[in-house]
């Protein structure tokens, strides 16, 4: 069979299994099997593929049809223009989280950064590559996620990020940061079962935000005050419709300059706030 015929057959199967963008998924899987870039497929449509090449593709296509995420099958995910390892040990980084990194890089002073619930480490590693002189710490409660994050740091040649196993913040109130970023679990517990097949493969620990999806965010907000330098920023990624209660919580804990920012789909996906002078004096 020609490469084009194999590609069309794989895409048709994935489409029948309800996979979104079946042709694109098939292209990624076939390029992975052949060890070439996806766009190179378009130059080889007439190439004949034998059983030695088609067999591993069939296995991957079958798994993708059952809902196993494309990123887990490829073992990688692209984030901020770089390729990271991705598997079941941590949440698959979402495209909108790239905007959190973009926003963080607009701040003038980033000498010290903390990323909370770092997962696969894409946020602190991306920031380290853009701000190599900054001191960056990343925490996660999951040992498996931290192992993946460290592997990604090695993969990208980053040695400046300190990874620490912790429940939200590292111990010691004397440690203060110019920026704290956090993409915490924000899915309400009752909604977990209705998520897509692909999302069901993410660790439950990385998804479940409690009854309203705000449990960990509400915990972090008062704790973060004690770890922010004067004028430091807290930058949160949140779920759809959560901006109002999050902003109100920030106001109750004496943050200032509180604003909600939209993602590229217009959803108010991020909330940022600045450490309050009054709180700093207390």
Going residue by residue through the chain (282 aa), what tens digit of pLDDT does each one get?
999 999 999 999 999 999 999 999 999 999 999 999 999 999 999 999 999 999 999 999 999 999 999 999 999 999 999 999 999 999 999 999 999 999 999 998 889 999 999 999 999 999 999 999 999 999 999 999 999 999 999 999 999 999 999 999 987 766 899 999 999 999 999 999 999 999 999 999 999 999 999 999 999 999 998 899 989 999 999 999 999 999 999 999 999 999 999 999 999 999 999 987 554 333
Q: Which domain CATH number covers 233?
A: 3.40.50.150
d(CA 159, CA 22): 38
pTM: 0.93
Q: Are residues 19 and 138 in the same domain?
A: no
Q: Is residue 137 part of a domain?
A: yes
Q: Are residues 58 and 114 in the same domain?
A: no
Q: Are residues 49 and 100 in the same domain?
A: no
Q: Are residues 34 and 151 in the same domain?
A: no
Q: Is residue 263 part of a domain?
A: yes
Q: Which domain CATH number covers 23?
A: 1.10.8.10
Q: Are residues 274 and 139 in the same domain?
A: yes
Please tell me the total count of domains within the chain. Answer: 2
CB 10 within 8 A of CB 4: no
Which residues, 6 or more positions from 121, have their beta carbon under 8 angstroms from its beta carbon? 84, 115, 138, 148, 149, 150, 152, 153, 161, 163
CB 29 within 8 A of CB 57: yes
> Domain range spanning residue 253?
85-281
Q: Are residues 59 and 132 in the same domain?
A: no
Q: Which residue has the tokens 């920023």?
A: 233
């Amino acid at each position: 069979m020609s490469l084009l015929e194999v590609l069309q057959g794989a895409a048709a199967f994935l489409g029948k299994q309800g996979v979104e963008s079946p042709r694109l998924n098939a292209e990624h899987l076939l390029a992975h099997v052949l060890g070439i870039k996806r766009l190179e497929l378009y130059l080889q449509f007439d190439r004949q593929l034998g059983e030695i090449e088609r067999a591993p593709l069939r296995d991957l296509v079958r798994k993708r049809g059952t809902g196993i995420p494309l990123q887990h099958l490829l073992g990688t995910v692209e984030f901020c223009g770089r390729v990271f390892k991705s598997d079941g040990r941590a949440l698959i980084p979402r495209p909108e989280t790239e905007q959190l990194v973009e926003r963080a890089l607009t701040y003038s002073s980033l000498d010290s950064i903390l990323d909370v619930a770092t997962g696969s480490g894409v946020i602190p590693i991306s920031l380290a590559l853009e701000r190599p002189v900054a001191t960056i710490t990343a925490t996660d409660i999951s040992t498996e996620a931290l192992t993946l994050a460290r592997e990604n740091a090695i993969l990208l040649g980053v040695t400046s990020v300190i990874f620490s196993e912790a429940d939200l913040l590292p111990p010691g109130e004397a440690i203060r940061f110019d920026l704290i970023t956090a993409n915490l679990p924000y899915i309400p517990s009752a909604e977990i079962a209705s998520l897509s097949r692909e999302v069901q493969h993410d660790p439950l620990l990385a998804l479940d935000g409690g009854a309203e999806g705000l449990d960990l965010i509400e915990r972090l907000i008062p704790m973060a005050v004690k770890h922010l330098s004067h004028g430091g920023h807290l930058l949160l990624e949140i779920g759809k419709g959560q901006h109002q209660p999050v902003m109100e919580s920030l106001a109750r804990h004496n943050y200032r300059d509180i604003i909600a920012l939209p993602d590229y789909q217009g959803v108010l996906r991020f909330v940022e706030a600045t450490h309050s002078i009054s709180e700093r004096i207390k």
